[in-house]
A and B are shown apart, each in its own frame.
Chain A
Amino acid sequence: MLRFKNTTVSYGKTEILKNISFSLKQGKFTALIGKNGSGKSTLLSAAAGLLSFDGEIFLKGRPLKGYSSKELAQLRALLPQLLPNASLTVERLAAMGRTPYLDLTGRLKAEDREQVETAMEQTDVLRLRDRFLSELSGGERQRAYLAMVLAQNAELLLLDEPTAFMDVEVTRSFLKLLRRLQKEQHKTVLTVFHDLNAAMDYADELLLLENGRLCFSGSAEACRQSGLVEEVFGVTRKTREIYQ
């Protein structure tokens, strides 16, 4: 689905990602972990085609640079870390997820409306549909943006700390939703997690970044056994499987 081949991303002369190579299989849930400043958000932005890079990135076997912005938006959706508090209602925000499928008039067709309704239902924001983003709590706003991302109906979901403002209960139901989407609709998910327990217990695969270099790519179990997490983060993992 997604393949990085000797990819380097720089801001000016500073290399943020250094010679990264990995591939994500279709329908897998992959967690991207690493300390602050290790390049996780940059990797997601590069995968989304929002940054220039050296080396190659392939999406569905085609070079990322070969896609038009509209084609790309129909294949992958990105939920960044910082979500603006725009003057929009939840329903309008969710409807914006259909932008890649609309012509310049922006008129939603019946199919688009259906996708928007489904996305709002999946993220449990139907009752908030007429509320403005500024009237929502951090967790509710996060879910409203997730509705937009799901309405985009892309095969690859790139999520940057999607559960950052959610409480335990909402986090659990959201992770269940991602798992359902992954299994039923074969979505490929690449998400940044700061919660190591959630990442280890939940994801099929893990990518571990340290100072812009990929130091592990493989199954969660293999990562657990390697002891790399403890080495990189300097912590011992004791709590487990709270999200199951």
Chain B
Amino acid sequence: MNKKNRILWVLPLLLCAVCCLSLRVGSVFLSGREFWGGLLGTDGFSTESLILYEIRLPRLFGALIAGSGLSFSGLLLQKVTGNALAGPNIIGVNAGAGFGVMLTLFFAPTLVLLLPITAFGGAFLATLLIVGFAYHRSKSTVILAGVSISALLNAGISFFSLLDPDVLASYNHFSIGGLSGVQTKELLLPALLIGICFLIILLFGSRIDCLSLGDAVASSLGVRVGSLRALCLILASACAAAAVSFAGLLGFVGLMVPHIARRLAPVCFRLQTVCAALLGGVLLVLADLLGRVLFAPSELPVGILTALIGAPFFFYLLIRRKRYASI
């Protein structure tokens, strides 16, 4: 079995193992019998069923969807900007989502149900603004425009939080990021959106590969570089905006996972995309699991855990950076 096939087998198995663990382990440990009984409903309307269907399965799906979405976003952004440090925050996703949430908390604090929509809207509008500005301009323009728009929106967030300090406490909960209280129904639209983006990324995978040859070579091969880059940026922003709409501003996933995916599949972007989807899921499910058990019955937000796991591992990768480290 070659390396490519090994990866395609090992990662899904790893993901399955982590998912099983996440469903069984928590503040209440479910034995094998309790787990299957609760899952299949053979014990009727039991506590185990309640734990699984109301708490753990929505969290698990949330972690898988957010992990995949942020990873796709980071992978695309690092490819189109040719910058290994690019992540969803670089194209204004975090600042846009944060600003949308802050506006809702400030002007309509009773409409908390609107928060996922305003987070998505803020993130997507901010990135569209950047894409519109950077269309047919250089790769570095994307990054610089992202930094500028983010700075502007962050200033807006700080301004509103100064006007009403109570809003700041609610905003902090969103900015740390977490999956507690996630419900299945709020995952449907993000899952659909990220799924569609995934299929489009796979469809254009071989063209996206050409972007690593630089604009001149890619254009000479018949690739419409400006349009493809704009498409990638829109897909990246849609994926990240969908993820932060229900999971908050999770850091590090969109930066770290693409690096590991490129290590596992250094040549083919399509395979990198599949790896990123699986790895993003593994990382967030694992972080969520640890967050639930480390200080049980208290809970550590998943955003803190992703940074705690991610930062040392990322550092290790940088030290061991080898031949396929370039994008």
Interface residue ranges, A against B (CB under 8 Å): 45, 48, 50, 69-70, 72-74, 76-78, 80, 82-89, 92-93, 96-97, 99-100, 102, 104-106, 132, 134-135, 145, 148, 152
B213 to A86, Cβ gap below 8 A?
yes
B203 to A104, Cβ gap below 8 A?
yes
A-B contact pairs, 13 of them (CB 8 A): A50-B220, A69-B222, A74-B222, A80-B216, A86-B212, A87-B212, A87-B325, A88-B209, A88-B212, A96-B213, A99-B221, A100-B221, A132-B323
B205 to A106, Cβ gap below 8 A?
yes
A134 to B326, Cβ gap below 8 A?
yes
Interface size on B, residues (CB 8 A): 27
* Bound Cα distance A205, B213 (Å): 31
Kindly list the 8 A-B residue pairs having the minimum CB-CB distance in the complex, ordered from nearest. A106-B206, A73-B222, A78-B220, A86-B212, A100-B222, A99-B221, A80-B216, A70-B222
User: Which residues of B sit under 8 angstroms from A132, Cβ to Cβ?
Assistant: 266, 323-324
User: Which residues of B sit under 8 angstroms from A45, Cβ to Cβ?
Assistant: 216
User: Which residues of B sit under 8 angstroms from A73, Cβ to Cβ?
Assistant: 220-222
The verdict on B167 contacting chain A, using a C-beta distance below 8 Å, is no
The verdict on B219 contacting chain A, using a C-beta distance below 8 Å, is yes
A106 to B207, Cβ gap below 8 A?
yes
Of all chain A residues, which has the CB nearest B203? A104
Interface residue ranges, B against A (CB under 8 Å): 203-207, 209-210, 212-214, 216-217, 219-224, 262, 266-268, 323-327
User: Which residues of A sit under 8 angstroms from B209, Cβ to Cβ?
Assistant: 88, 96, 106
Taking the closest CB of chain B, its distance from the CB of A172, in whole angstroms, is: 26
Of all chain A residues, which has the CB nearest B324? A87
Taking the closest CB of chain A, its distance from the CB of B220, in whole angstroms, is: 4
User: Which residues of A sit under 8 angstroms from B213, Cβ to Cβ?
Assistant: 84, 86, 93, 96
* Bound Cα distance A105, B202 (Å): 9
B326 to A86, Cβ gap below 8 A?
yes
Of all chain B residues, which has the CB nearest A160? B216
A87 to B219, Cβ gap below 8 A?
no
* Bound Cα distance A152, B222 (Å): 10
Majority secondary structure, B binding face: helix
Of all chain B residues, which has the CB nearest A133? B326
Contacting residue for A69 out of B212, B219, B325, B327, CB 8 A:
B219
* Bound Cα distance A85, B323 (Å): 10
- A87-B326 in contact given A96-B209, A106-B206, A132-B266 (Cβ < 8 Å): yes
* Bound Cα distance A205, B221 (Å): 27
Starting from the known contacts A86-B213, A88-B267, 11 additional A-B residue pairs (CB-CB under 8 Å) come to A70-B222, A76-B220, A78-B217, A80-B220, A86-B326, A87-B267, A88-B212, A92-B268, A104-B204, A106-B205, A135-B323
* Bound Cα distance A102, B209 (Å): 14
A134 to B323, Cβ gap below 8 A?
yes
- A104-B207 in contact given A78-B216, A135-B323 (Cβ < 8 Å): yes
B210 to A96, Cβ gap below 8 A?
yes
* Bound Cα distance A46, B222 (Å): 15
* Bound Cα distance A88, B269 (Å): 11
User: Which residues of A sit under 8 angstroms from B216, Cβ to Cβ?
Assistant: 45, 50, 78, 80, 82
Taking the closest CB of chain B, its distance from the CB of A98, in whole angstroms, is: 9
User: Which residues of A sit under 8 angstroms from B210, Cβ to Cβ?
Assistant: 96, 99
Taking the closest CB of chain A, its distance from the CB of B212, in whole angstroms, is: 4
B267 to A92, Cβ gap below 8 A?
yes
* Bound Cα distance A73, B210 (Å): 13
B217 to A80, Cβ gap below 8 A?
yes
Residue among A78, A80, A87 having the largest count of chain B Cβ atoms under 10 Å: A87
Taking the closest CB of chain B, its distance from the CB of A9, in whole angstroms, is: 15
Taking the closest CB of chain A, its distance from the CB of B217, in whole angstroms, is: 6
User: Which residues of B sit under 8 angstroms from A99, Cβ to Cβ?
Assistant: 206-207, 210, 221-223
* Bound Cα distance A141, B267 (Å): 16
Of all chain B residues, which has the CB nearest A99? B221
* Bound Cα distance A229, B213 (Å): 35
Of all chain B residues, which has the CB nearest A71? B222
* Bound Cα distance A14, B268 (Å): 40
